[in-house]
Amino acid sequence: MEVNPEIGSEKRPIKMPLPLYDAQGIDHKRQRYPNCIVWTPIPCLTWLLPMIGHMGIATTAGVIRDFAGPYYVSEDEMAFGRPTKYWQLDIDKVGKKGQSQKDTWDLAVYDASEEYKTRMHNLCCDNCHSHCAMALNIMEYGGSKSWNMVKLCFYMLIFGKYVSVCGFIKTWLPFLIMAGGIIALAVTLS
């Protein structure tokens, strides 16, 4: 039992916070999402279309890489803030043979990031979702080489988990406020 110095000679245990990570190694406090696709809202765009946002992919150690702008892939500093959703993928579904699945995953994330450091960012055609899709294609995740930005958008919508209640609110509240305002305006004008 540790003594809390602020309490004097009274022996009370110091309350240590519970770890914020789960059995799969996810640590929300430190933003570590091993083998995950992560997602965060883009102001204005997500407010209009809540399924559209910014995406990154994490290494097996949980370090997030995201195509944040022209010729730039950030590491552990997502372009639009902390992740609000994540989708943890099964490392056993990495398709390439010949090296460990962990090494294959990390190398694919690295190779996709290096490629995207040479690309111009295009919101509609070659963006953060495309960067993640390229990594999944390189590692042949799920035996597939046909990952793309649209597929990832829908999979994140279906399989993504919110990091917290605040993550859910940050994603949906602006949209609900805007939709409510539009509905109120339409009712008032009619």
Q: Do the beta carbons of residue 157 and residue 87 sit within 8 Å?
A: no
Alpha carbons 87 and 110: distance in angstroms, whole number: 19
Q: Do the beta carbons of residue 15 and residue 116 sit within 8 Å?
A: no
Residue 7: CB atoms within 10 A of its CB come to 10
**pLDDT score recorded for residue 36:** 96
For the segment 83-90, the average pLDDT, to the nearest whole number, is: 95
Alpha carbons 86 and 56: distance in angstroms, whole number: 9
**pLDDT score recorded for residue 30:** 87
**pLDDT score recorded for residue 26:** 86
Give the position of tokens 């602020």.
Answer: 6
Task: Examine the pLDDT at 17 and tell me if it is beyond 80.
Answer: no
**pLDDT score recorded for residue 15:** 42
| Poorest-pLDDT segment among 13-22, 23-32, 138-147, 150-159 | 13-22
**pLDDT score recorded for residue 32:** 92
Report the predicted TM-score, pTM, of the whole model to 2 decimal places: 0.82
Q: Residue 113: exposed, middle, or buried by beta-carbon count in 10 A (0-12, 13-18, 19+)?
A: buried
pLDDT in tens, 110-157: 999 999 999 999 888 899 999 999 999 999 999 999 999 999 999 999
pLDDT band at 19 (very low <50, low <70, confident <90, very high): very low
Inter-residue long-range contacts of 102-108, CB under 8 Å, 24+ positions, other chains counted: 102/60, 104/139, 105/35, 105/59, 105/60, 105/139, 106/59, 106/60, 106/61, 107/138, 107/139, 108/135, 108/136, 108/138, 108/139
Residue 144 one-letter amino acid: S
Alpha carbons 27 and 77: distance in angstroms, whole number: 15
Domain ranges of the chain: 25-175
Q: Do the beta carbons of residue 94 and residue 140 sit within 8 Å?
A: yes
Q: Residue 9: exposed, middle, or buried by beta-carbon count in 10 A (0-12, 13-18, 19+)?
A: exposed
Q: Of all residues in the chain, what percent carry a pLDDT higher than 90? A: 72
pLDDT in tens, 51-79: 899 999 999 999 999 999 999 999 998 99
